[in-house]
Amino acid sequence: MATTSALKTDAARPGINDDIGEQTRLTMYRMQVEIRESEQRAFDLFLQNLVKGTSHLSLGQEAVAAGFAAAMKPGDLSFCTYRGHAHTLARGVPIEKVLGELMQRDNGLMRGKGGSMHLTSAEHGVMGSYAIIGAHLPIACGAALRAQYKGAGDVTVCFFGDGTTNIGAFHEALNFAAVWKLPVIFVCENNLYMEYTPIGEVTAVKHPAADRAAAYGLEHIVVDGNDADVVYRAARTAYAKARAGGGPSLIECITYRHSGHSRADPAKYRPEGELEKWKERDPVKIYRERFKQFGIDEAVIAQIEADVKRRVDEATEKCKAAPPPSLELLTTDVYADGGFAWRN
């Protein structure tokens, strides 16, 4: 992982970022701001008792979702964990659909039945958020095998946390993907903590994902997960490799969550000053500052921020006004025939 000073030096070097372009950068900034504002609003709604139960926010980790989503092509698939709001929004799912689902309203992405940990939208290539640690890695392999078998050309991306690297499904999926040379990218969002436990205290290697890549014949890749440009470049390279038949990639993105693991976690286990130090490398702040180096007008940046805030406000009001799901919906999609009459 490059240091902060090195990143600033590279970013300022003439021509170093010409491969990305202004339009893509503006897109990634909009994604990051949308994720930040939407998740902060979700937190505020929870304090108003309008979001029930728990949820897992990605505040501080926005660059990973933005970098990979911006490099995707239509038809590519995303598999997420329970911390999947960011990746769902980055793939273009409307804010109203996400907030509505968190608020258990009928206008939600899954009409209020899925909740925070199960956001899914096949239309947008979001193939589910999975609450069981590591469960989606083998499923992602299945999606990639389908693409390979049919010659479909799409790539599957599977996001997971650092704790997943100590789960058997992680190793089984990597081995399977490597043997079959599947078009799948495994992305470890290493935010340093597996729920409440520092990953370094329970793992034999420094980099829980990348240091194990060699066991499956894969390249050791560790990137700065708080810099959307760095993430985007790593993603673009991995996509190209997968589409060319080169098989899977394993990318470890070093990042940090600003909040606790979930709503029930005050994160008091973190050393004093650690959060403040990481907030100096806030991905939204980093990206906004970078625009100055490329002469992007402040008015353009401000317009993006104002537009996102307006849409979050509008989505919030629509969700507040939306009704809860009807009782008739309760058993829909639960039984094979769409109802429960045959059981009575």
Q: For the chain, give the mean pLDDT.
A: 91
The sheet with strand 77-81 has its strands ordered as 126-130, 77-81, 156-161, 184-190, 249-254, 222-224
For position 150, what pLDDT does the model report? 97
Strands (E) in the chain, as ranges, are 77-81, 126-130, 156-161, 184-190, 193-194, 197-198, 222-224, 249-254
Query: Quick one: CA dihedral 208, 201, 226, 51, positive or negative?
Result: positive
pLDDT higher than 80, residue 4: no
User: Which residues 6+ apart lie within 8 Å of 309 measured at CB?
Assistant: 37
- pLDDT, one tens digit per residue, over 295-305 is 899 999 999 99
For residues 54 and 264, the answer to whether their CB atoms sit within 8 Å is yes
For position 327, what pLDDT does the model report? 87
- Average pLDDT of span 139-159: 98
Return the domain boundaries, the chain: 4-343
What pLDDT band is residue 176 in, cutting at 50, 70 and 90?
Answer: very high
- Average pLDDT of span 182-207: 96
Give the residue among 164, 226, 248, 150 at the shortest CA–CA distance from 199.
Answer: 164
Strands (E) in 181-255, as ranges, are 184-190, 193-194, 197-198, 222-224, 249-254
Alpha helices (runs of H) in 211-338, residue ranges in sequence order: 228-243, 274-279, 283-293, 298-321
What pTM was computed for the model? 0.91
pLDDT higher than 70, residue 341: no
Give the residue among 206, 198, 259, 213 at the shortest CA–CA distance from 46.
Answer: 259
For position 8, what pLDDT does the model report? 39
What pLDDT band is residue 225 in, cutting at 50, 70 and 90?
Answer: very high
State the helix-helix crossing angle for 22-47 and 62-71, rounded to 10 degrees. Answer: 140
CATH class of the structural domain 4-343: alpha beta
Higher-scoring residue by pLDDT: 11, 88: 88
